[in-house]
Amino acid sequence: MIKPHGADVLDPRFVDSDEERSALLSEAEFLPSMTLNSAAAANVVMLGAGYFTPLKGFMNLADAMSVATDMKTTDGLFWPVPVVNFTDDVNGLDVNRRIALRDPNVAGNPIMAVMDVESIEEVSDEQLATMTEKVFGTLDASHPGVAVFQNMGRYCVAGEIRVLSLSYFASEFGDTFKTAVEIRDEISERGWETVVAFQTRNPMHLAHEELCRMAQERLNADGIVVHMLLGRLKKGDIPASVRDACIRKMVDVYFPENTVMVNGYGFDMLYAGPREAVLHAVFRQNMGATHLIVGRDHAGVGDYYGPFDAQTIFDELPEGALEIKIFAGDHTAWSNKLNRVVMMGEVEDHAPEDFAVLSGTRLREMLAEGLAPPAEIVRPEVAQILMDYYQQEARQTAVGE
């Protein structure tokens, strides 16, 4: 099986021992504490679940700047995006002291982790701007990732952590949320060697389904892991529970048994385009995938990135930076001429009107009106789940008005 990134074995920061975890929780009740922002809490979950191996905690400012500018820590570890704990409130926090980290996304802000504070550093305007521009490629505050990153705080609190809770993900998404350890174990149990990961924050339409199938066939892969984001998205995105239901229905009906795993991970979407695509590759390698599908506008938003920037960035990585490989996908759509889904760049003698394409806006309008989209766009079983969701949303909006 493919090795984890930068390590021989995974290093999940979650404390497995019930006895040790209970002791740390008891200790944490009497420690100074800070309530994390959602992005930092998501980092705790990813560290706890082993996805961020070999990191042991939050980066200091020097590492965060080095990662942003050169995609490596100060000691040379390849890493594409700063993993930071920014805050505006450092009252009661001291270097070389253990603190409790509290969950902002669960009522009562329960303790998520304990942290041995190694540094507390003020982040200058220039440093914040540099990190933002390098990671997101823009300083435009209208970019949802930029807006979050620039408003998390001006102090960088760094240090190793021991994770005591994986937040609400295990309880709310018990059948779907899996740690990197659990996914790696299941891949091993299934006997899969070549494994394709598919990243999604949306329900899977027919084109997505066929892209997975193309990757599996062309790579002669043993299986596919559909790995959906379960954390915070931007306003208007479809809730994780609805996406989960759509994807499971598609897999149950249209894929052979024991060829697809449906799992999710607890992270907030960054919308960082190319840099986030590389981060996706890092933690998919950690969970045991040998290949990651990187399609058109992967992890993008609006018009901030070129359609294939998230693919070309992999050509620029240092030799040996990652063991995982990417499967580069073009825009996929139904060909009315060939009566099947194709990669649009691979077929000849096709004009735009020869493809079945529906804008996202029109698709949402149809679903809200209870009109089933064409089967060339969305599987009918998936369309029904989406229609039920959008019509419920429309009814709730009407009641609210």
Q: How confident is the model at residue 240 (pLDDT cuts 50, 70, 90)?
A: confident
pLDDT score of 162: 98
Same domain, yes or no, for 203 and 276? yes
Q: State the average pLDDT over residues 87-92.
A: 94
Residue 225 lies in a domain: yes
Per-residue pLDDT for 36 more than 90?
A: yes
Structure token pair of residue 192: 């899969």
Question: 203 and 165, same structural domain?
Answer: no
DSSP 96-138: T-EEEEE-TTSTT--EEEEEEEEEEEEPPHHHHHHHHHHHHS-
179 and 250: one domain?
Answer: yes
- Is position 9 within any domain? no
266 — phi, psi (to 5°)?
-95, 90
8 within a domain of the structure (yes/no): no
User: Which CATH number fits the domain that encloses residue 54?
Assistant: 3.10.400.10
Radius of gyration, alpha carbons of the chain: 22
Specify whether 246 is located in the same domain as 144: no
Q: Are residues 362 and 240 in the same domain?
A: yes
Question: Exposed, middle or buried, 328 (CB in 10 Å: 0-12/13-18/19+)?
Answer: middle
Comparison of pLDDT for 359 and 355, the residue scoring more:
355
Residues 52 and 162 in one domain: yes
pLDDT at 396: 72
Half-sphere exposure of 294 (CA within 13 A, CB side): 30
Q: List helix spans (H) across 118-273.
A: 125-136, 144-149, 169-172, 180-190, 206-219, 240-254
Domain-ending residue, one of 138, 170, 202:
170
Per-residue pLDDT at 368 = 84
Which sign does the torsion angle of CA 6, 230, 59, 325 carry? positive
In this prediction, residue 394 carries a pLDDT of 74
pLDDT at 233: 65
pLDDT of 401 above 60: no
Residue 10 in domain: no
Taking the C-alpha atoms of residue 53 and residue 282, their distance in angstroms, rounded to an integer, is 9
Instruction: Based on the fold, state whether residues 195 and 296 are members of the same structural domain.
Output: yes
List the Cα angle 214/204/49 in 5-degree steps: 95
pLDDT digit string (tens) for 318-350?
999 999 999 999 889 999 999 999 999 899 999
Looking at the fold, whether 192 and 126 belong to one and the same domain comes out as: no
Asked whether residue 2 is domain-assigned, the answer is no
Do 147 and 278 belong to one domain? no
Under 8 Å CB-to-CB from 62, ≥6 apart: which residues? 74
**Of the residues 112, 138, 170, the one at which a domain ends:** 170
- Report whether pLDDT(25) > 80: yes
The residue range of the domain holding 153 is 18-170
Q: Is the dihedral of CA 186, 191, 193, 196 positive or negative?
A: negative
Q: Which residues are catalytic?
A: 201-202
Task: Report the percentage of the chain scoring pLDDT > 90.
Answer: 85
Task: Tell me the mean pLDDT in the region 13-24.
Answer: 97
Q: Categorize the per-residue pLDDT at 264 as very low, low, confident or very high, splitting at 50, 70 and 90.
A: very high
Residue 315: other Cβ atoms inside 10 A: 7
43-53: pLDDT as tens digits: 999 999 999 99
Strand, helix or coil for residue 81: coil
Any domain includes 155: yes
Our count of domains for the chain comes to 2
In this structure, the dihedral spanned by the alpha carbons of residues 253, 254, 258 and 262, taken in order and rounded to 10 degrees, is -80
Distance CA 180, CA 175 (A): 15
Q: Does residue 257 fall inside a structural domain?
A: yes
Query: What SS3 class is residue 282?
Result: helix
Is residue 218 domain-resident? yes
Q: 364-370: long-range contacts at Cβ-Cβ below 8 A with a sequence spacing of 24 or more?
A: 364/390, 367/391, 368/393, 368/394
Question: Which of the four pLDDT bands, split at 50, 70 and 90, describes residue 399?
Answer: low
Provide the pLDDT for residue 69: 98
Paired sense of beta strands 332-335 and 291-294, if any = unpaired
Phi, psi of 285 (to 5 degrees): -60, -40
What is the spatial distance between Cα 219 and Cα 392, in angstroms, rounded to a whole number?
Answer: 41
Q: What is the pLDDT of residues 114-151, one digit of tens each?
A: 999 999 999 999 999 999 999 999 999 999 999 999 99
Work out the percent of the chain whose per-residue pLDDT is above 70.
98
pLDDT over threshold 70, residue 86: yes
CATH number, residue 304: 3.40.50.620
Confidence band, pLDDT 50/70/90 cuts, at residue 361: confident
Do 231 and 380 sit in the same domain of this protein? yes
Please tell me the pTM assigned to this model: 0.94
Are 100 and 165 in contact by the 8 Å Cβ rule? The answer is: no
Tell me what pLDDT residue 239 has. 84
**Do 89 and 223 lie in a common domain?**
no
Rounded to whole angstroms, the Cα distance separating 251 from 327 reads 20
pLDDT category at 91 given cuts 50, 70, 90 is: very high
- Judged against a pLDDT cut of 70, whether residue 398 lies above it is answered with no
pLDDT for the residue 285 = 98
Cβ atoms 232, 252 nearer than 8 A: no
Q: Are strands 155-163 and 111-122 parallel, antiparallel or unpaired?
A: antiparallel
272 and 129 within one domain? no
Final residue of a domain: which of 170, 186, 205?
Answer: 170
